[in-house]
Amino acid sequence: MDTLQYVKWLRGSSPYINAHRDRTFVLMLGGEAIADPNFENIVHDIALLASLDVRLVIVFGARPQIDAAYQQAGITSQYQALGRHLLRITDDDGIRLVRQVVGDLRIQIEALLSTGLPGSPMHASRITATGGNWVTAKPLGVVNGVDFCHTGEIRRVDAVALRRQLDCGVIPLLGPMGYSPSGEVFNLAYEEVAAAVAGALRADKLIALDEEPGVLDADGRVISEMTPRELEALITARREEEREGDELLRQLTAMFEASRAGVRRCHLVSHATDGALLQELFTRQGSGTQITEQSYEQLRPAHRDDVSGIVELTRPLAEAGVLVERSRELIEREIERFTVLELDGLVIGCAALYPYPEEQAAEIACVVTHPEFQGADRAERLVRHLEIQAQRGGFARTFVLTTRTSHWFVEQGYRPTTVESLPAARRSLWTPTRNSKVLSKTL
Ligand SMILES: CC(C)(COP(=O)(O)OP(=O)(O)OC[C@H]1O[C@@H](n2cnc3c(N)ncnc32)[C@H](O)[C@@H]1OP(=O)(O)O)[C@@H](O)C(=O)NCCC(=O)NCCS
């Protein structure tokens, strides 16, 4: 990537960096993902997310590794269909192998996380992962005469204890295991652990990594967005097909369960493509499939939580001299003057209205649309909204001061006027060095 491309990418991703900060993401990594040659890159991307203050929980599976260990030990796996899935019957020998394999994988993941972000200035950054007995399990017991032995199901998740870890900036690392109050160890489906943990934490996202780049349509193209209802229909259809060992079906089911438990966004991304996770999280087009209720764009008054979003949006323009420099403190103080356009938690546009009641005039300032979202009348909507607000407030006209965008405002019905026509209080702030053009519109 050349420098210019890099700068563009960084600018494009900045609203997402902001939107993901302090959010809780549960990552669901199957044993297949861990075995993939791309896994090292995934772990580095996880470290990057952690360094951006995303609260991460990792839930990993171990199915192919357990299969291999069974094979090596000369034990034949016994499976039994239960409800929707085929489950392994984990007998005494089996649970010993499961414990070893899961322990090994945990060490492998912890070791990789310890490498930080190699090749970057953050290579020495410490990413701390931890394990714990957060999942209480119970035996599946004997179903239709079949004893599932040490194969269990989830009884509850200790969300309070997990949150405590997250508050300390630590990544909880959970395997497909749970413990009973009597001290027994149970083998669980990691997808169910992930869904239960995401639901209990009211996570912002559950992210599944799969061989496929996402959910594919009939032509093999990735469907970038689906609603939980559409996902449910897909799950029903796949169940009817009854494919053996349908790993994707298990993941889709977990995503559906999590969305039902209040997780607003679930994602399915490739574990085999380098960068797919970051592309999904930091670009508008994404890479995989997002499960969410229809995304919607909201035009609303700004509140304190929007300050960072507004700063990110306006800073590059202030640095380029297009906008007047506004410090974070100033934006914080004047936040009630701002209106924002929010899309899926991102501030993608803003504008502010400053009243001058004595002159019945109001200034429209700081009109910005994020570069990735320009050209769809968003700024026009923002300006119209502020004009209506000014009109309702009894103002006779709105005016703007701009150095580079006068033509755009002319298209919005503004006419050039003189500095002398500005309200006295505003005139005194006009600086000859900036030499902004003044335009005004009668409401
Ligand atoms: C100006 C700005 C707010 C427009 O945002 P937007 O959401 O794309 O606006 P709209 O979709 O309503 O209008 C887009 C149209 O304005 C045009 N336009 C964008 N910037 C322009 C400018 N500086 N001068 C003239 N026209 C401009 C676009 O080419 C497009 O025209 P088209 O539809 O004929 O292709 C956006 O480009 C921006 O954020 N610029 C930097 C900040 C700025 O200059 N703010 C104004 C000072 S307060």
pLDDT per position as a tens digit, 185-224? 999 999 999 999 999 999 999 999 999 999 999 889 999 8
Residue 402 CA to ligand 1 centre (angstroms): 12
For residues 340 and 284, membership in a common domain is answered with no
> CA 15 to CA 415: how far, in whole Å?
33
For residues 132 and 267, membership in a common domain is answered with yes
Residues ≥6 apart with Cβ < 8 Å to 126: 116
Mean pLDDT calculated for residue range 404-416 = 95
- CATH code at position 93: 3.40.1160.10
Q: What is the pLDDT of residue 66?
A: 95
For residues 13 and 40, membership in a common domain is answered with yes
Over the stretch 283-324, which tens digit does the pLDDT of each residue have?
878 999 999 886 678 899 999 999 999 999 999 999 988 899
Over the stretch 365-388, which tens digit does the pLDDT of each residue have?
999 999 888 888 899 999 999 999
Please spell the DSSP secondary structure of 377-426, one letter per residue. Answer: SHHHHHHHHHHHHHHHTT-SEEEEEESS-HHHHHHTT-EEE-GGGS-HHH
Q: What is the pLDDT of residue 243?
A: 67
Task: Confirm or reject: Cβ of 376 under 6 Å from ligand 1.
Answer: yes
For residues 244 and 323, membership in a common domain is answered with no
Asked which of 291, 309, 344 is the last residue of a domain, the reply is 291
For residues 45 and 140, membership in a common domain is answered with yes
In ligand 1, the atom with minimum distance to the C-alpha of 405 is: 23
Out of 367, 408, 436, 438, give the residue to mutate to test ligand 1, the one with the largest number of ligand atoms within 8 Å of its CB. 408
Task: Confirm or reject: Cβ of 369 under 6 Å from ligand 1.
Answer: yes
In ligand 1, the atom with minimum distance to the C-alpha of 322 is: 44
- CATH code at position 342: 3.40.630.30
Q: Which of 288, 24, 290 is nearest to 165 (CA)?
A: 24
Out of 324, 374, 407, give the residue to mutate to test ligand 1, the one with the largest number of ligand atoms within 8 Å of its CB. 374
Over the stretch 32-81, which tens digit does the pLDDT of each residue have?
999 999 999 999 899 889 989 999 999 999 999 999 999 999 988 888 88
Which residue matches tokens 């310890």? Answer: 114
Tell me the range of 12-16, 228-232, 295-299, 412-416 where mean pLDDT is highest. Answer: 412-416
Mean pLDDT calculated for residue range 93-106 = 95
- % of the chain exceeding 90 in pLDDT: 70
The pLDDT confidence band at residue 84, using thresholds 50, 70 and 90, is low
Residue 349 CA to ligand 1 centre (angstroms): 12
Q: What is the pLDDT of residue 244?
A: 66
Residue 375 CA to ligand 1 centre (angstroms): 7
Please spell the DSSP secondary structure of 189-226, one letter per residue. Answer: -HHHHHHHHHHHHT-SEEEEEESSSS-B-TTS-B--EE
For residues 274 and 381, membership in a common domain is answered with no
The pLDDT confidence band at residue 441, using thresholds 50, 70 and 90, is very high
Residue 317 CA to ligand 1 centre (angstroms): 13
Its domain, for residue 211, covers 3-291
For residues 187 and 128, membership in a common domain is answered with yes
For residues 301 and 233, membership in a common domain is answered with no
Q: What is the pLDDT of residue 380?
A: 94
Asked which of 291, 316, 334 is the last residue of a domain, the reply is 291
Residue 117 clears pLDDT 90, i.e. is over it: no
Task: Confirm or reject: Cβ of 322 under 6 Å from ligand 1.
Answer: yes
Q: What is the pLDDT of residue 391?
A: 93
Task: Confirm or reject: Cβ of 378 under 6 Å from ligand 1.
Answer: yes
Task: Confirm or reject: Cβ of 201 under 6 Å from ligand 1.
Answer: no
Task: Confirm or reject: Cβ of 377 under 6 Å from ligand 1.
Answer: yes
Over the stretch 318-368, which tens digit does the pLDDT of each residue have?
998 889 999 999 999 999 999 999 987 889 999 999 999 999 999 999 999
Task: Confirm or reject: Cβ of 233 under 6 Å from ligand 1.
Answer: no
In ligand 1, the atom with minimum distance to the C-alpha of 404 is: 23
Q: Which helix (H) or strand (E) holds 177?
A: strand 177-179
Ligand 1 atom 12, closest CA: 377
Number of domains in the chain: 2
Task: Confirm or reject: Cβ of 305 under 6 Å from ligand 1.
Answer: no
Task: Confirm or reject: Cβ of 321 under 6 Å from ligand 1.
Answer: no
For residues 222 and 317, membership in a common domain is answered with no
Ranking 216-230, 238-252, 402-416 by mean pLDDT, the lowest is: 238-252
Q: What is the pLDDT of residue 116?
A: 66
**What average pLDDT does the chain have?**
91
Contact 148, 89 (CB under 8 A): yes
Ligand 1 atom 19, closest CA: 408
Report which DSSP code applies to 50: H
Task: Confirm or reject: Cβ of 370 under 6 Å from ligand 1.
Answer: no
For residues 415 and 398, membership in a common domain is answered with yes
Q: Could you count the other beta carbons within 10 Å of the beta carbon of residue 371?
A: 14
For residues 233 and 265, membership in a common domain is answered with yes
Task: Confirm or reject: Cβ of 367 under 6 Å from ligand 1.
Answer: yes
The pLDDT confidence band at residue 151, using thresholds 50, 70 and 90, is very high
Task: Confirm or reject: Cβ of 368 under 6 Å from ligand 1.
Answer: yes
Mean pLDDT calculated for residue range 156-182 = 96
Over the stretch 122-138, which tens digit does the pLDDT of each residue have?
666 678 999 999 999 99
For residues 285 and 212, membership in a common domain is answered with yes
Asked which of 291, 310, 327 is the last residue of a domain, the reply is 291
